[in-house]
Structure 1
Amino acid sequence: MLPERLKSLRKEANLTQKEVAEKLGFDQKSYSFWENGKRNPKNVQQIADFFNVSTNYLLGNTDIKSKNLETDLNKTLDTVKSFDGKPITDSDRETIREILKRRQREREQKENK
């Protein structure tokens, strides 16, 4: 998933591999290896920051690009309480996260039609 996301984000930014590599402080060969899935970068956060996306998006853990949306979701889930006033379980957090991700994908599909 990472190679596809890197290539897609680079193309959306209208940049070459060399331009991205230079801006990140790497050589073009290293970046090419990442895009081609031959190696994984050790500095995923730096790359996510450069493209202004979350590391979860970059790694394929979510389809939500926005770092802010992911951060907001985490903050919200941290404050959610169950009906008895206790914090929700990790299992419930994941269920809520999956429902929201599915809903986001549905919205994006509607927008792309």
Structure 2
Amino acid sequence: MTLFDRIKTISKERGYSIAEVERKAGISANYMYQWKKRNPSPKALASVADVLNVSVDYLLGNTDIPEPSTSSDDLTKNQKLIAYSIDPDISDEERQAIINMVKEAMKFRRRL
């Protein structure tokens, strides 16, 4: 399932049209339709995830669990966006490696 397909599906489940999601997320009308062929900005992706109350990982297809986690061990949305924005065309394995490195750095920082 593509990014746009996931957004369309979860929007429908939440009772929103694509236009409503765009308006609530503060992005231009019809902007999400462009996501069928190109990657969105990390900021726009985070805004849409907030509106739909899902994680950025869910929208990107990295997880099938739509709800954002509330665990204190999980990465914040901004940290996930950093991993995504480094290079949106990297493989899922490389993206996960970046996320894992940030998680380890967070654990180390908590010990200090």
State the secondary structure of the residue aligned to 2:37.
coil
Partner of 2:73: 75
Over the matched positions of the two proteins, sequence identity in percent amounts to: 38
Cα deviations by residue, 1:63-111 (Å, 9 ceiling, x for unpaired): 111212xx52x728xxxxxxxxxxxxxx9xx8xxxxxxxxxxxxxxxxx
- 2-side partners of 1:58 and 1:48: how far apart? 7
Per the TM alignment, residue 46 of structure 1 is displaced from its structure 2 partner at its CA by: 1.6
Partner of 1:62: 63
Matched residues, number: 73
Unaligned runs of 5+ in 1: 77-90, 95-113
State the secondary structure of the residue aligned to 2:31.
helix
- Quick one: which amino acid aligns to residue 12 of structure 2? K
- 1-side partners of 2:30 and 2:54: how far apart? 23
Write the mapping of 1:5-84 to structure 2, written as runs, cut at 5 A: 5-34=6-35, 37-42=36-41, 43=43, 44-68=45-69, 71-72=70-71, 75=73
TM-score, reference length from structure 1: 0.54
Unaligned runs of 5+ in 2: 75-96, 101-112
State the secondary structure of the residue aligned to 2:57.
helix
Q: Could you list the runs of 4 or more consecutive aligned residues of structure 1 that deviate by over 6 angstroms after TM superposition?
A: none
TM-score, reference length from structure 2: 0.55
**RMSD (Å), alpha carbons:** 2.3
Partner of 2:83: none
